[in-house]
Amino acid sequence: MLDADSDDLRSGPDLHPALLSLLPLVGTWCGEGQVGYPTIEGQHYRQEVRFAHDGRPFLAYSASAVLLGPDGDVVRRSAREVGWWRAADGDRFEVLLAHPTGIVEIYLGTAAGPTSWELSTDVVVRTQTAKEVTANHRLYGIVDGALLYAVDMAAVGQPLQPHLSARLERTSG
């Protein structure tokens, strides 16, 4: 079968030079996070996140999460998202994400430092039956080899505030 993407920098195609500011993200990451919002009950989740490339100036991105019970057991499947992180000018990039909940987001991103990235939604569109999400803001950073992120969300009539935070360890790439 065609190996469309590579997150193995040693044997895969060379990373496109326009993606250099996103290079530290490439690979597969796994770990746990905390979800919350004023309208829902706080819970822990486990997540796998993958950034891969095929030599062209974009990263293929996918993430999937399961919710954890109080004892750390998997309770059920939760959020998934797929999309593309596209190189733009210099340290700028553009991110397109699609969710099975009927939401599509376009973010404008900047590399805030060599291992930190900030994303703000430019546009959020949703299907007729999707929940009302109006804006999202994401911070990603690599600290001591771990990928940390925080997502703030404006949705269901609430102002922009924390929905997610997680710490993921690199499992490959």
- Name residue 4's amino acid: A
Using the contact rule CB under 6 A, the part of the chain among 2-10, 22-30, 106-114, 150-158 near ligand HEM is 150-158
Burial of residue 2 (CB within 10 Å: 0-12, 13-18, 19+) is: exposed
Question: Is residue 19 a contact point for ligand HEM (CB under 6 A)?
Answer: no
Instruction: Compute the least distance from the CB of residue 30 to ligand HEM, in Å.
Output: 12
Interface with ligand HEM by CB under 6 A: which range of 7-15, 88-96, 141-149, 156-164?
A: 156-164
The helix/strand/coil state of 17 is: helix
- By CB under 6 A, tell whether 95 contacts ligand HEM: no
Nearest-approach distance from CB 86 to ligand HEM, in angstroms:
19
Q: Which helix (H) or strand (E) holds 78?
A: strand 74-87
CB of 132 to ligand HEM, least distance (A): 7
Q: Which of 70, 42, 61 is nearest to 138 (CA)?
A: 61
Angle (nearest 5°) at CA 87 between 84 and 89: 150
C-alpha span between 99 and 160 (Å, rounded)? 19
Is residue 29 near ligand HEM by the rule CB under 6 A? no
| Closer residue to ligand HEM (CB): 23 or 104 | 104
How many CB atoms sit inside 10 A of residue 111's CB? 18
Binding to ligand HEM, residues 48-87 (CB under 6 A): 65, 67, 78-79, 81
Using CB under 6 A as the criterion, which residues of the chain lie in contact with ligand HEM when the complex forms? 35, 37, 39-40, 43, 45, 47, 65, 67, 78-79, 81, 99, 103, 105, 131, 133, 136, 153, 155-156, 163-164
